[in-house]
Amino acid sequence: MIKRSDKIGIIGLGLLGGSYAKGFYNAGYRVYGIDIDPEAIAFAKRMKWIVEGGDDPALLSDCDIVISALYPRLFVEWIKENQHVFKEGIILSDVTGIKRQVIEEVNAVLRKDIEFIACHPMAGREYKGIAYADCNQFETSNFIIVPTENNSERAKEAGYDIGRILRFKTISELSPEEHDDIIGFVSQLCHVIAISLMNLSENEKLVDYTGDSFRDLTRIANINENLWPELFICNKDNLLKHIDALEQQVHILRDYIEEENIEAMKALMVEATARRKKFDRK
């Protein structure tokens, strides 16, 4: 449970870390920020999102809740090197997009008095950096808590509190295995498709012949190349499975087109239309 007097520490003031700082600030919390980039710290201070910040981990020594908004591997390294600054019994959380490996590696090195509750705010953007930070998007986004069987009710409750304080639209729980499987599908597979589609044609004039379809399917082809290869590799087993399944599904439709099987095509379209309706924003 997060109390109103709890101090919130955020490691990494990028797009998501900055949005978290802003969201906690808006909700009346005292936020402390760590970043190696002095400009990110200066920006967050100017906006009043953090009361104190810098590159010294000791700035988090009085925090009750610490949230890492670092890339997965950097997160594990940071904890190894700097967790000695934390006071006893704090709750640690994160924003990482893949979970099994992060949870295992963090818990393998984490102090025994500190509990890690993994969370995934599904609010990434095709931009990077604190200048794009925006916590309004949380109100239309999903928040997933990813507990292990070793997590206490207290830590899970802190996860729900983070989602509630930041005003996420839905808050749900998935096991690390379920999470990585589903994320491999709804997020990573979509990025693989967008990158591939974007790289398929060198036609410079394509933009003049384009409707919204291509624009929609490639929005996320604008991708952070320093983060995503790591996410793909950490979830390789699931992602490869989903890529292979997509390929088979495309082949079904491809064959119907080749055979000019109108009724079979219609059935796939009716099914897709019915399923898609559930995803329309209310």
Q: Where in 83-122 is the site for its own copies (CB under 8 A)?
A: 122
Binding window for its own copies (CB under 8 A); candidates: 63-71, 106-114, 156-164, 254-262: 254-262
C-alpha 67: how far from chain center: 13
Burial state string for 234-267 with b = 16 or more CB within 10 A and e = fewer than 16: bbeebbeebeeeeeeeeeeeeebeeeeeeeeeee
| 100, two tokens | 């099994």
Burial state string for 187-224 with b = 16 or more CB within 10 A and e = fewer than 16: bbbebbbbbeebeeeeeeeeeeeeeeeeeeebebeebb
The least distance separating its own copies from the CB of residue 79, rounded to whole angstroms, comes to 22
Give the binding-site size for its own copies (rule: CB under 8 A).
Answer: 87
Quick note: the x/- pattern for its own copies over 146-175, rule CB under 8 A, is: ------------------------x-x-x-
Figure out which of the listed residues 57, 72, 124, 147 binds its own copies, where binding follows CB under 8 A: 124
74 binds its own copies (CB under 8 A): no
Q: Are 84 and 113 in contact (CB under 8 A)?
A: no
Q: Which of 22, 12, 26 is nearest to 72 (CA)?
A: 12
134 binds its own copies (CB under 8 A): no
The least distance separating its own copies from the CB of residue 72, rounded to whole angstroms, comes to 13
Please say which residue, 85 or 227, places its beta carbon nearer to its own copies: 227
The least distance separating its own copies from the CB of residue 77, rounded to whole angstroms, comes to 17
Please say which residue, 133 or 220, places its beta carbon nearer to its own copies: 220
239 binds its own copies (CB under 8 A): yes
The least distance separating its own copies from the CB of residue 89, rounded to whole angstroms, comes to 31
282 binds its own copies (CB under 8 A): no
The 10 Å Cβ neighbour count of residue 90 is 21
Beta bridge partners of 93: 67, 117
Please say which residue, 150 or 170, places its beta carbon nearer to its own copies: 170
Burial state string for 119-128 with b = 16 or more CB within 10 A and e = fewer than 16: bbbbbbbeee
249 binds its own copies (CB under 8 A): yes
Binding window for its own copies (CB under 8 A); candidates: 18-26, 32-40, 110-118, 238-246: 238-246
266 binds its own copies (CB under 8 A): yes
Quick note: the x/- pattern for its own copies over 193-222, rule CB under 8 A, is: xxxxxxxxx-x-xxxxxxxxxxxxxxxxxx
Measured over the CA atoms of residue 171, residue 172, residue 177 and residue 183, the dihedral's sign is: negative
The 10 Å Cβ neighbour count of residue 42 is 13
The least distance separating its own copies from the CB of residue 81, rounded to whole angstroms, comes to 23
236 binds its own copies (CB under 8 A): yes
Say how far apart CA 138 and CA 234 lie, in whole Å.
25
